[in-house]
A and B are shown apart, each in its own frame.
Chain A
Amino acid sequence: MQDLSEEVRAVAVDEALTAARSQALRLEQLAIFSVRRELLVALYVAVATLIGGVGLLIKANLDRIGPVALLTGIFVASALCYAIALRASAARRERSLGEEYVLLLGALLFSTAVGYTEVQFHVFGASWSRHLLLLFVWHLGAAYYFRSWLVLSVALTAFAVWIGVEVRFGTVVDPLYPRFGAGPRSLLCALVFYLGSRYHLTEHAGPASGFRDAYLQFAANFGFWGALALGGDASTRWIGALILLGLAATVGRFGLRERRQSFLLYAVGYSTIGLVWLEALLVRDLLRASALGLFTVVGAVVVLLNLRARLKESGA
């Protein structure tokens, strides 16, 4: 057991931090003990288990139960979850952690039901992947209505999957179709998500405060994935490398400016992966490629430690 109350008492703080210190003292003396993280993990596991069970149920009992009965059951369960969230909204109160995850469960069940409907009844015919666009629109609307960044994450994932599997994307941007592979599609997603974050630029702390972060996290990751995918193709290798380095510089600067360590880590981590990959592709000799890779990794470690130091300095 740990008790750092002796140290907490010794910390000299100004008026602004007095409350933080007394809170810390209460925590150290176990006057208050939060189990929020344990509950969060349990909720996540519960939702994942339920969704996994529903997926297996569909697979195993399609013949016995029949598609209409299965769909009705899943849609009803989804509606119940949405109803719980609606009840909180109607009472004009903030949803609890549990209700937040019940809402997420409702969104995931809805996704399952819509996907299953498409497979079973071929609503969109040859353009079957458009149901993902429908899911994106639905989840985006729900995310903004309920002010839930968890549902927003589901919406953004649906959008990315739609872009990823939309095999007839050429009908939208025809001239680019032959070259519209995984890299450009990821970069397009990143651009759309970044634009989404701009919409929340002046966001203040509150129920929707996670929206900008969710958009930015998605934008950064998809941007780097796109650059790496471009780097994997011989014809776009150098463009990919340039985009990767440009993104690393931009995301790193953003991380320093906003004091967000995760963005600094993306910048260092993804650029290191990209550079080592590029070196391995260009230098076929094991010894030389390993030596180059070693220098790159050492450089990345030095950059990482320096960035952390700068982050601390900027916070002081």
Chain B
Amino acid sequence: MIIVRPTVSEERWLALADRYPALQASVEQLGKGGGWKTSTWLGRCLGFVLGLAGTGMLAGVLSYAPAPWLVGGLMLVVVAEWMVAQRRVFRSGVEEALYLCGTVAIVVELLVWSTGNNNALDVALIATAVLLVGWRLLNPLFTTLAAAGYSLAIAVIDGSLFGGSMYTREAAAACVLLAVGALVAGGRKWRRPSHDRMFDGLVIAMPWLAHGWLVQYNGSSTVATHGVALAMALAFLVVNLFVGVKRRQHAPLIGTLGNLACVAYSTYRLMPWPMHWQLIAAGAVLLAVVVLLERLLRHRSKGITSRAIEESSSVDFVQVVGAVHLSPAAGSPAPAGVQGQGGEFGGGGASGRF
């Protein structure tokens, strides 16, 4: 069976064009990308949303048809496969949404038909479907989602998906194993860029998920559990930071930021300090550390630097959205009765609803 997708060499050239916009035209002139049509991440996001919207509309059209999930799922997979194989579309978002929804719909329909009532097996089958789509389309987000799905399957062995006891510690242990494995594997030079990204996804998401399993999901976590979660988050923070700096890799450093959030959350649950003081202290410390770090690395022309190496001259959409999001929301004027009592208050900056 021939799977139509970019070869290793083609994918490397596509990654090069994507990574260095200044060289894009020269790379495309070489014509080694195999004629694959790719998209930027913003275009990919819109493509994914359009794919999801199309799937929803198809669900509406097929709502009166027999076995709508199976029929719709098959139609979506065929269209996605046609886009990839015939139109040579790669990472556009559209085919990814169609393939994902189609495959999951097929599996869900088959599960509905089956008489078994094993939650763990059901979740594992859906996760396998997502994994296969991730492998087919070389999509690291899907492979990471599949790993998360497997951890959920472990958690619901002999249990129920909604409520009841769950094997959260076992699920957390599986996530830790995956994170460590991915961290080790990430040290190897992989020829295919997407394989590298798949390990990156696990390095970033798995420690966070392990922490989540320990402290959040079962809702009955104890002080000891939070202590273990804090120790684990701290360990990953140190290891990821060390590996990221030593190997000069982004994924472990991004993972460090996630670990930092986990540490902050566990500290908040363990310390009897008011939340606002914790937020102010954490924010102030982080701000001071980052400003200092940025200052230290600013003038370095080799090694690790904080200078922008490849940056668009235009204001990035995300940065504008970020700045707007930080702006405090306006509320309605406070009624006279609650003045001075710390109630709701309105006006840019003091609504208290951040």
Say yes or no: A39-B15 contact (C-beta < 8 A), given A55-B354, A261-B40. Answer: no
Q: Which residues of A contact B51 (CB under 8 A)?
A: 301
Interface mask (B247-288 → A, CB under 8 Å = 1, otherwise 0): 111100110110001000000000000111111111110110
Minimum CB–CB distance from B284 to chain A (whole Å) comes to 6
Check B242 for interface membership: any CB of A closer than 8 A: no
Question: Which chain B residues in 309-325 approach chain A with CB under 8 Å?
Answer: 309-311, 313-315, 317, 319-320, 322-325
Check A173 for interface membership: any CB of B closer than 8 A: no
Q: Check if B47 sits within 8 Å of A301, measured CB to CB.
A: yes
Say yes or no: A119-B327 contact (C-beta < 8 A), given A45-B286, A289-B60. Answer: no
Q: Check if A63 sits within 8 Å of B30, measured CB to CB.
A: no
Check B42 for interface membership: any CB of A closer than 8 A: yes
Chain A residue at minimum C-beta to C-beta distance from B95 = A301
Q: Which of B27, B189, B352 has the most CB of A within 10 A?
A: B352
Interface mask (A232-253 → B, CB under 8 Å = 1, otherwise 0): 0000000000000000000000
Q: Check if B58 sits within 8 Å of A27, measured CB to CB.
A: no
Check A202 for interface membership: any CB of B closer than 8 A: no
Q: Check if B23 sits within 8 Å of A50, measured CB to CB.
A: no
Q: Which of B24, B253, B315 has the most CB of A within 10 A?
A: B315
Chain B residue at minimum C-beta to C-beta distance from A16 = B22
Check A128 for interface membership: any CB of B closer than 8 A: yes
Check A92 for interface membership: any CB of B closer than 8 A: no
Say yes or no: A1-B313 contact (C-beta < 8 A), given A8-B16, A38-B253, A272-B50. Answer: no
**Measured CA separation A101–B187 after assembly (Å):** 34
Check B136 for interface membership: any CB of A closer than 8 A: no
Q: Check if B43 sits within 8 Å of A114, measured CB to CB.
A: no
Say yes or no: A111-B348 contact (C-beta < 8 A), given A218-B320, A309-B37. Answer: yes
Chain B residue at minimum C-beta to C-beta distance from A45 = B286
Check B49 for interface membership: any CB of A closer than 8 A: yes
Minimum CB–CB distance from B238 to chain A (whole Å) comes to 16
A-B interface contact total, Cβ < 8 Å:
362
Check B110 for interface membership: any CB of A closer than 8 A: no
Q: Which residues of A contact B280 (CB under 8 A)?
A: 49-50, 53-54, 57
Q: Which residues of B contact A265 (CB under 8 A)?
A: 42-43, 46
Check A207 for interface membership: any CB of B closer than 8 A: no
Chain A residue at minimum C-beta to C-beta distance from B45 = A265
Minimum CB–CB distance from B87 to chain A (whole Å) comes to 8
Check B342 for interface membership: any CB of A closer than 8 A: yes
Partner of B187, one of A1, A164, A210, A260: A1
Q: Which of A34, A37, A316 has the most CB of B within 10 A?
A: A34
Say yes or no: A119-B279 contact (C-beta < 8 A), given A55-B328, A213-B314. Answer: no
Q: Which residues of A contact B109 (CB under 8 A)?
A: none
Q: Which residues of B contact A161 (CB under 8 A)?
A: 327, 329-330, 348
Q: Chain B interface (Cβ within 8 Å of chain A)?
A: 12-13, 15-16, 19-20, 22-28, 30, 37, 39-40, 42-43, 46-47, 49-51, 53-54, 56-61, 63-64, 89, 92, 94, 186-190, 193, 196, 247-250, 253-254, 256-257, 261, 274-284, 286-287, 290-295, 297-298, 301-311, 313-315, 317, 319-320, 322-330, 332-334, 339-342, 345-354
| Smallest CB-CB A-B distances: 6 pairs | A290-B60, A53-B279, A115-B350, A50-B283, A111-B349, A115-B349
Q: Chain A interface (Cβ within 8 Å of chain B)?
A: 1-4, 7-8, 10-13, 17, 20-21, 23-24, 26-27, 30-39, 41-63, 67, 96-99, 101-102, 104-105, 108, 110-120, 128-129, 131-132, 135, 149-150, 153-154, 157-158, 161-162, 164-165, 205, 209-210, 213-214, 217-218, 260-262, 265, 268-269, 272, 276, 286-287, 289-291, 293-294, 297-298, 300-301, 304-305, 308-309, 312, 315-316
* Subset of 18 A-B contacts with CB under 8 Å: A2-B196, A7-B16, A32-B301, A42-B257, A43-B287, A50-B283, A51-B328, A96-B298, A97-B294, A129-B330, A162-B348, A210-B315, A293-B60, A294-B57, A294-B60, A297-B57, A308-B39, A315-B25
